[in-house]
Amino acid sequence: MSIKHLGKHVAQKSLLTPSYITRISAGFPSPADDYMDKELDLNEQLIKHPAATFFCRVSGDSMQDVGIFDGDLLIVDRAVKPVSGHIILAAINGELTCKILDIKGRCLLPSNSNYPPIPIQEDADFSVEGVITYSIRDHRVRTG
């Protein structure tokens, strides 16, 4: 899996979009509810630490079992303290990777059984670049 850095978060203005108060069924359809709650600011919902947040794009399938797929946009927060079980953006021996942090086992865990864990050796050049707080996926069908 490779990571392409897309830039730092810059919240120059709010992005307000309509928000419905009811949850939308992903099973059987329910009667439409035309009642709108309020406008939703995606910056407010997705970015908790603007000065410490940046975006990157995923390439590869090693995290597919936790719902991170090739081409997804990741929101990375440097201000969140990483703990075991967090999905992180790590730099290890000059390579960036998105994996699950296992502090006790001293390794980075993929979320696809086709890939092995990455051990964090004592002499490794290792750093946590940030915690993945959200992933954003384009659900449009690609044709041609």
pLDDT band, very low/low/confident/very high, at 42 (cuts 50, 70, 90): confident
Task: From the options 3.40.50.10610, 3.30.365.10, 2.10.109.10, 3.40.50.300, give the CATH code of 2-10+49-136.
Answer: 2.10.109.10
- Selected catalytic residue, list 2, 25, 38, 62: 62
- Selected catalytic residue, list 48, 99, 113, 127: 99
Query: What's the pLDDT at 98?
Result: 97
Helices (H), 20-141: 42-46
> Quick one: which of 93, 2, 10 has its CA closest to 56?
2
The ranges assigned to domains in the chain are: 2-10+49-136
Strands, E assignment, the chain: 2-8, 16-20, 36-41, 53-59, 73-77, 87-92, 95-102, 107-109, 118-119, 126-136
**CA quadruple 27, 32, 36, 41: dihedral positive or negative?**
positive
Write the pLDDT tens digit of every residue in 123-138. 999 999 999 999 999 9
Write the pLDDT tens digit of every residue in 87-134. 999 999 999 999 999 999 999 999 999 999 999 999 999 999 999 999
pTM of the model: 0.76
Q: Is 62 a catalytic residue?
A: yes
Q: Is 99 a catalytic residue?
A: yes
